Structure 1
Amino acid sequence: MSPLPPFPPLHLPPGGRNPNFTGREPMLARLGAQLGRAQGTVVVSQAITGLGGVGKTQLAMEYIYRQQADPQTAYDLVWWLRADTVVNLAADMAALAVAVGAMSAENPDQQAALNAARRWLAQTDKRWLLLADNADDLPPRALNHYLPTGGKGHILITSRNPNWGGLVGQDAILPLDTFTRAEAIRFLQVRSRQFIAIFEGDKSPPTNREEEAEIGKLAELLGDFPLALEQAAAFMEARQMGCAAYRRLYETKRQEVWRRATPPDRYHATITTTWQMAFEQIQKRPGAVELLNLCCFLAPENIPLALFETSDFFEKSDVFTASAVSLADPLALADAVAALRRYSLVAREGESLRLHRLVQTVARDRMPPELARQWAEIAIEAIIQVLPDWTRLHEWEDGPVIVAHMVAAADLATEQGIETERLAFLCNWTGFYLKFRAEYEKARPYLERALAIHEKALGPDHPDTATSLNNLGYLLRAMGDLAAARPYLERALAIHEKALGPDHPHTATSLNNLALLLRAMGDLAA
């Protein structure tokens, strides 16, 4: 076990506390009452549920910051977990194990690190809180495999899925709706520098009742949806536009956006319209649209700007304008990022970008199918160009960050119906890296997908198909399923012998893999 590092009291999403957080006092009080009532060694969980863009994560973070401000309620440890995928969830729990000294950073076995984190949380005397954020697609019961069931701690979950009663109990579900009208008005007044009203403490009446009435009309028009209000405020600030002018522009744009189709509901109509208004503005900025489109086919958080430091994959695609190719230039990239930030489409945090998941979803949904496929393929290339040599995985410091984008790019490309060799390459790489971290169950579907693509695109007897067979067989052997591994490794050897000859290095690799398997099976005669 490594020496205990300085204790990490607060690990939250980049960006810090939201200075524009408004209202939600009853919700904060309910969180405090629910989580504050528990003592002892039974973990107490609370789920904040609601539509995308209503502020679930912001509510959770505000609660945490308020708790930490009071020594009587402060936790010894707060740890943010990306619960959008099991890969991210396991990675963040493993990082917790390293941070508290329960696991060495040099040990790549992520399952061992996950188990170490769960044990530490169950046994420590410290008070802790885990924020399992964006658990939208993860089955509630699946969290039991990753989170502790004992210890002096709390688990706070944010999710679009309302069905958490079986895990946390019905009384521990906090449904979060849109702002109240008063909260929406106050948010716009606090957020936008275009308004005269200044709030001081709890006593903050508007100085102009007509202004308040105009803001109220806009809030009503936008359904009091927090994300829509944020985008509207950013737009008005960027364009030096008042509420009345924005409201007229919004009504015109909404008719244009939905003239050929009926919106599924007011929520989608509002978010899509405010997004479209911002999108049309960034089209005037060189490279901004291309940067946004590419980011929409990656994971939403921790998108390294280093991904865009080479123009090779830009130049390979005809969807990039000449100005977008220059994104490899640091100044051009900074200008494109600034344009997206101005309209609240991305946030820059150090050398990384972050998007709201709903912004990504709307952007993808607004793309014609062929354009979406092209951007999914470009995202694949962007990831591939930063992958290291297979033999240097132990030295790959960026791996824990990049793997989230590997998974997102592979999954989103599959949703687009892409079955290219480049996707197969990325899937093989994703599976291989997850296997390297001992995440065998997570690695398997990517290696199976790579094999299926190779068999369909190249045929069952191609050397690249043999590579996929080897990778999958090798994984099954590591999982202990020796009988299932054997036919894959035997096929790989037969293909390599026929296509490359008995003396080729790839044939030798296949022969070695099969020999090791047979030895493990006790079949020494074979």
Structure 2
Amino acid sequence: VPFSRDDLFVGREDIIAKVSERRVAASSHTRVALVGLGGVGKSQIAIEYAYRLKEIEPHVLVVWIHASSPTRFRQEYRDMANRLLLPGREDPEADVLQLVHAWLSDGRNGRWLMILDNVDDDSVFFGNDLDNHARPLESFLPQTAHGTILITSRNTVAATNLVGGHGDVVEVEPMGEEDALALLHTRVPFGEASRADAKALVYVLERIPLAITHAAAYIKTRGSTTTIATYLELFRESEANQVHLLSRKEWKDIRRDHSIRHAVIATWQISFKHIQATEPQAADLLALMSMFDKQGIPRWLLQGTTRQLDFEDALAPLLSFSFVRTEVGEEALAMHRLVQLSMRRWLEAESELGKWVKESIQALSAAFPSGDYQTWEQCRVLLPHLKEVASHTTEDREGLEKQAESALRAGWYLLLMGEYTAAEGFLRLSLDIREKVLGPEHPDTLTSVSRLGSVLQRQGKYEEAEAM
């Protein structure tokens, strides 16, 4: 194992127990995959499991292979051949992959655990190997009873294919609250007086271990000026601050492979690029989702006029990479707020943010109903997404007009619901946009004036209402 043991490792006992139980109970070849969002701690669990196994069974050979590309996999097998001093390895004509496969397959060489880390690309093991066109790399993974393979992957499809019929896929979720607080405490010790701030911090970081350790490193390296409370205050201040804090590059985690020692924002953006290259429709869907509120996004809002089968094909990679999850009987979708933030910044860097702001405005404008009684349920579902989209800035005239119309409908709905303060906010937005784009005398502007006057009157703001 190329990484030292983490003496401060906390939590994840349920997942380690699942891996252990599956290996002990198996009478044949076993494979277990740890699958989850990048930064959720899959590799760290694998490292801890490897050290615990060596304590219990010191004679077991543990092999760690970074499997993000065919090149890395082949190099790791060559390194293994050298460490094992396999005869024939130095022969230029030798098939080193086959030499290692044969040695691992031989039960006389004892029990072994192979950890395949970062198996995110399904084509690595199931595409044609450049050095041996007849055999995919998967065929060089032994299927022997004395060997176990533990896989870490962000991609459920890749992991499931590699596990095959030999074991289980274990979902790795963000930490529970107590484990997340314990993780923060091991990096930045805090007392009871700071517990509320610590709890709030792990909450806004969505209990994602990589985000927590990055935040802790920032606090620790600026110990004289930054506390948990001040970091939390900075983080809450603006979206720009969140991007800045989660994109800091000076902290390096030496317990992650050198090729993936990225800040948390960059960790996800690597997967975005992969999806864009291999599944462009999925990348477009994720871009659109990132414009709305992070949860309760109706599938029908996203699907629009797209065929059901095409929509399901676009959604599948996003579910596989844990970027989105289903809610409410699978009729709605949600995504982590930090993933949403990361996607928006990536779109900005790719000069595509404006395009997707416009797309989201158009989608909501087409979907948001009149606000009359019979449409209240649909209004309720769409209102959080309208609030989020209304916070995006656009200079597109058509987009601004659609924003104003949607805000007018939302204001009318809220007025009828008796939520006058919220209604006033939407109606002022509608009026401000229309005065700017259409002018003060335009009939649509006067409609916004009338509605705003009504809601002011309902609140007892008679002078303002009369002015309207």
TM-score using structure 1 length: 0.45
Which of 163, 187, 207 is the aligned partner of 2:183?
Answer: 187
Q: Residue 157 in 1 paired to residue 147 in 2? A: no
Q: Residue 345 in 1 paired to residue 252 in 2? A: yes
Q: Residue 17 in 1 paired to residue 12 in 2? A: no
> What's the CA shift for 1:106?
2.9
**What secondary structure sits across from 2:149 in the alignment?**
strand
**What secondary structure sits across from 1:215 in the alignment?**
helix
Distance 1:75 1:252, change over 3 A: farther
Structure 2 stretches lacking a partner, 5+ long: 127-135, 274-349, 351-468
Q: Is the 8 A contact 2:246 2:263 kept in 1?
A: no
Q: Residue 129 in 1 paired to residue 113 in 2? A: yes
Q: How many Å separate the matches in 1 of 2:264 and 2:26? A: 34
Q: Is the 8 A contact 1:250 1:274 kept in 2?
A: yes
1:89 — aligned with what? 73
Q: Residue 248 in 1 paired to residue 244 in 2? A: no
Q: Residue 117 in 1 paired to residue 100 in 2? A: yes
1:30 — aligned with what? 18
Show CA shifts across 1:360-413 (max 9, x none).
54688999xxxxxxxxxxxxxxxxxxxxxxxxxxxxxxxxxxxxxxxxxxxxxx
Q: How many Å separate the matches in 2 of 1:103 and 1:218? A: 55
Which of 240, 263, 274 is the aligned partner of 2:245?
Answer: 274
> What's the CA shift for 1:165?
3.3
What does residue range 166-205 of structure 1 map to in structure 2 within 5 Å? 166=161, 167-169=163-165, 172-192=168-188, 195-197=189-191
Q: Is the 8 A contact 1:228 1:274 kept in 2?
A: no
Q: Residue 148 in 1 paired to residue 142 in 2? A: yes
Distance 1:17 1:113, change over 3 A: same
Q: How many Å separate the matches in 2 of 1:51 and 1:127? A: 31
2:33 — aligned with what? 47
**What secondary structure sits across from 1:51 in the alignment?**
coil
Q: How many residue pairs align between the two structures? A: 259
2:202 — aligned with what? 219
Q: How many Å separate the matches in 2 of 1:364 and 1:30? A: 29
Show CA shifts across 1:261-309 (max 9, x none).
xxxxxxxxx7x45323x25xxxxxxxxxxxxxxxxxxxxxxxxxxxxxx
Of structures 1 and 2, the larger Rg is shown by: 2
AA in 1 matched with 2:252: L
1:355 — aligned with what? 261
> What's the CA shift for 1:104?
4.3
Q: Residue 58 in 1 paired to residue 44 in 2? A: yes
Q: Residue 69 in 1 paired to residue 55 in 2? A: yes
Distance 1:115 1:176, change over 3 A: same
Q: Is the 8 A contact 1:84 1:133 kept in 2?
A: yes
Q: How many Å separate the matches in 2 of 1:173 and 1:103? A: 36
Q: How many Å separate the matches in 2 of 1:177 and 1:273? A: 25
> What's the CA shift for 1:253?
4.3
Show CA shifts across 1:290-339 (max 9, x none).
xxxxxxxxxxxxxxxxxxxxxxxxxxxxxxxxxxxxxxxxxxxxxxxxxx
Q: How many Å separate the matches in 1 of 2:235 and 2:64? A: 36
Q: How many Å separate the matches in 2 of 1:133 and 1:155? A: 10
> What's the CA shift for 1:69?
1.2
What does residue range 70-469 of structure 1 map to in structure 2 within 5 Å? 70=56, 73-109=57-93, 112-125=95-108, 126-139=110-123, 141=126, 142-163=136-157, 164-166=159-161, 167-169=163-165, 172-192=168-188, 195-197=189-191, 208=192, 210-240=193-223, 241-254=226-239, 256=240, 272=243, 274-276=245-247, 278-279=248-249, 340=250, 344-347=251-254, 355-356=261-262, 360-361=266-267
Q: How many Å separate the matches in 1 of 2:140 and 2:22? A: 22
Q: Is the 8 A contact 1:345 1:359 kept in 2?
A: no
What do you get for the CA RMSD once the two structures are aligned? Answer: 3.1
Distance 1:216 1:56, change over 3 A: same
Q: Is the 8 A contact 2:121 2:155 kept in 1?
A: yes
**What secondary structure sits across from 1:172 in the alignment?**
strand
**What secondary structure sits across from 2:156 in the alignment?**
coil
**What secondary structure sits across from 2:212 in the alignment?**
helix
Distance 1:234 1:357, change over 3 A: closer
Q: How many Å separate the matches in 1 of 2:137 and 2:272? A: 33
Distance 1:211 1:169, change over 3 A: farther
> What's the CA shift for 1:58?
0.4
TM-score using structure 2 length: 0.50
